[in-house]
Structure 1
Amino acid sequence: MFGFLTRRPWALHNPLKSWTLAGLSLRECQLLVASMTDAEMKVSWAHHENWPTWKPLSEPECHDLFTLKDSDQHNLPELPQIVQEDDHEITEVRMVTNVQKVREPVQRKYTRYIAKIPVEIMLSSHSFSTHTLDLSEGGFCFEDKLPDWVAGYFTVVLNAPDKMFEFTCFLAEDQKKDKFRTEIAPTTAEKVQEDFRIWLLTQKFPITPQK
């Protein structure tokens, strides 16, 4: 029994989805956290058997829960596809290969502007300095790959020559192993977002082309 508890010392509480799971391994916690939405991460809590109390996922002690490696997925074979006949009944599940997938263009919600502006990214005792490649009302793309400790919600300080902005941000979801892009969280003060929007419009930065 003691060995079992040692290997599975974690617990997670997700009040947004109303579930609590105990007796989890680190890997199981990482998988659960990876499946959470940003809103769930913001309000969820973790507990380790060596901690006297629960801790929010934003605490430094919980950073290991955000370090799920996706290398295991790279070794998987191609997924089988469900094949349907004209009567809409599922007749079999088989491998369908050589199917060319066409990716529809995604319309951007915000206009992106090309601009190199120094930024400071902060989370607890960590800090990281870099520059933007482009920016918009919705977030930023940075010159340098973000460190592994950048996870959950963190602070991005934009140090423009004429003005300083401070945002609460989170990682953009459609990224692979290396992370370069963040989105501005809705918890950022409305006045900051409005001031930033007006500032962007007055800078006359070149617009990035739609891909």
Structure 2
Amino acid sequence: MLSVTWALHNTLKGWTLYDLSSAEVQLLVHVMSANEIRLSKVCRKNSPAWESLTEAKFPELFIKRPPSQESGYPELESGEKNSDTQADTDYFVVSPKKTVLPRLHTRYDIAVKCSIHSSKNTFVAETVDISEGGLHFKDLLPDWIAGYFLVTVTTPQGLYQLMCSLVEDQKEKKRVQVVSEESDPQYTLYKDWLLTLK
């Protein structure tokens, strides 16, 4: 039986892969975040158009893998010492001492739903932590988020719209800094709400 050839486009991370087997797409889907899946498109070879990647449309791409015994392979033991990996623990690297500067704003570890808006797009994300100075999101932010943009923070007390920009020099694109004016009423309400989290 011939396997269907697929192409997969991950809008969030900005990559496209072609000539994938169904098993390869299943593996990619398995390691993608919910936001990546929600923003991805898929196309069968010779199809006229790309389609949104959803389990309802393409259940064959969301198949869960059977346990290893059913697939003919033995189970991996998590605590097992492997002689190949043991050698890696024999050496370590001493990093230069870093100077830790005190934080300007108190961070609050709270998951809050936020919407990031540009002129054409909206991205919904959840925070890991927040402060007066910025927000840290669970998922990577898409490439189209750049410059200045609005972030709508959804709380039980209401919605707060903040003007933000990306934090510079971050390894993973997950942090934004608040650049709203101190006199902005929305920013004042947001800061008042943060004080209720203490």
TM-score by length of 2: 0.50
